Amino acid sequence: MMDVFEAATKRMEVKDYKDKPVPTEIIQKILEAGRLSPSAMNMQPWSFIVVRDRNALRMIGELSPTGKYIAGAAFAIAIAVNPDDKWYQVDTARAAQSMMLVAWSLGVGSRWVGGIERDEVKKLLKIPERLQLLTVLPFGYPKHSAKGVKNRKPLQQVAFLEKYGEPWSKQTEQTSQTL
């Protein structure tokens, strides 16, 4: 099993998936990672709808201008949230990230999709009116090598020591750039 540091630093967002089903036991583990995520006051404002039906995945792909590739995923998890909960976005983003990291550690890629016609997808999945569709996460075994270069700001630009603007040590910065 991959360690947490490796999963957190090496994981790439994946949008091309093999035509290969992901076993139910792995989906179950991914769901458990979401269910057991922490949330403010332990409110757990989320619901996870697993979509495996190919027609439904195609329809969601059509309803996702920036996530058409959902159509080719092995499955997707739609995350419905209670928007009355003050921290629903933070809590649910944490649950989503946990699910995506656990998936990655088990060889399954995924990608966050933001551009979704939410009202239409809500109807398709029978998500109650009072809930909001936060996102739909497609999952599947990566079609291509999932290794890649992370295009990120250097640590020097985002991490400071004690006070904003005070540089983190150069030695640590060099270490992070070799990751």
Whose CA is closest to 106, among 114, 116, 98, 94? 98
One of 33, 56, 101, 113 touching ligand FMN (CB under 6 A): 113
CA distances from 130 to 27, 39, 145 (A): 27, 20, 40
Alpha helices (runs of H) in the chain, residue ranges in sequence order: 4-10, 24-35, 54-62, 88-105, 118-124, 155-158, 170-177
Residues in contact with ligand FMN, total (CB under 6 A)? 12
One of 26, 106, 111, 121 touching ligand FMN (CB under 6 A): 111
- For the bound state, the minimum distance from the C-beta of residue 100 to ligand FMN, rounded and expressed in Å, comes to 10
Stretch that binds ligand FMN, among 36-44, 111-119, 120-128, 161-169 (CB under 6 A): 111-119
Residue 72 has, within 13 A of its CA and on its CB side, a CA count of 14
One of 21, 114, 154, 167 touching ligand FMN (CB under 6 A): 114
Is position 78 an interface residue for ligand FMN (rule: CB under 6 A)? no
Residues with Cβ within 8 Å of residue 157, at least 6 apart in sequence: none
One of 23, 115, 154, 167 touching ligand FMN (CB under 6 A): 115
Sheet strands side by side (includes 75-81): 46-51, 75-81, 132-140, 109-110
Task: List binders of ligand FMN among 47-66 (CB under 6 A).
Answer: 66
**Residues 14 and 69 sit within 8 Å (Cβ to Cβ):** no
**Residues 51 and 138 sit within 8 Å (Cβ to Cβ):** no
Site string for ligand FMN, 138-167 (x = CB under 6 A): ------------xx----------------
Shorter beta-carbon distance to ligand FMN: residue 44 or 64: 64
Q: Which residue is nearest to ligand FMN (CB)?
A: 114
Interacting residues toward ligand FMN by CB under 6 A? 12-13, 15, 66-67, 111-115, 150-151
